[in-house]
Amino acid sequence: MQIYTTDTSDATPARIKVGIADFAVGTDSAVLTTSGLGSCIGVVLYDADAGVAGLAHAMLPTAEDASNPAKFADTGITSLLSEMKSHGADPSRVVAKLAGGSTMFDFAATDGGKSIGERNADSARHTLSELDIDIVAEDVGGSHGRSLELDVETGTLSIRSAKSGKYDI
């Protein structure tokens, strides 16, 4: 099994922790995890035939600077796909799953009345559409946080939330 991550300090042989404003790619029997998804958006990309998957934890919808592409949904997705391609993924086979994008606080929304969580989800959907990547499942919105666990071998995304317990998409 090979593990590819932007932060190797938390990587273990089979379990890869993806932090905020980070992404990681795994193969074989790796498990990619992230927690603390509130308004942030979690994006899973998966190529079943190549056995390659990736998970991004983006904080904001669109890149304001190039210092950390993983911080933003648009550049995080393109960077994650690029890293997956370098390890055998074929973009024409890649599918996506989304989770997070909650409205965590009752602040006045900006950008046409949308919360940061809604804008993160919209940006992820828009970027995936531009890349011609189908979204096969999503669990976005609401007002609750989520933690994610991606089984690279099966592509199963397990979600834990205080609202709904644990479930798979």
Give the type of residue at 56.
A
Does residue 11 surpass a pLDDT of 80?
A: no
Separation of alpha carbons 7 and 54, rounded Å: 14
The distance of Cα 6 from the centroid of its chain, to the nearest Å, equals 14
Catalytic residues: 40
pTM recorded for the entire structure? 0.87
Helices (H), the chain: 73-85, 116-130
Q: What is the CATH number of domain 3-168?
A: 3.30.1330.200
Q: Give the three-class secondary structure for 48.
A: coil
Query: Strand order in 146-151's β-sheet?
Result: 15-17, 31-37, 146-151, 156-161, 165-168
Tens of pLDDT, residue by residue over 51-87, are 999 999 999 999 877 789 999 999 999 999 999 999 9
| Mean confidence (pLDDT) of the chain | 89
Domain ranges (residues) in the chain: 3-168
Tens of pLDDT, residue by residue over 94-122, are 999 999 999 987 655 555 678 999 999 99
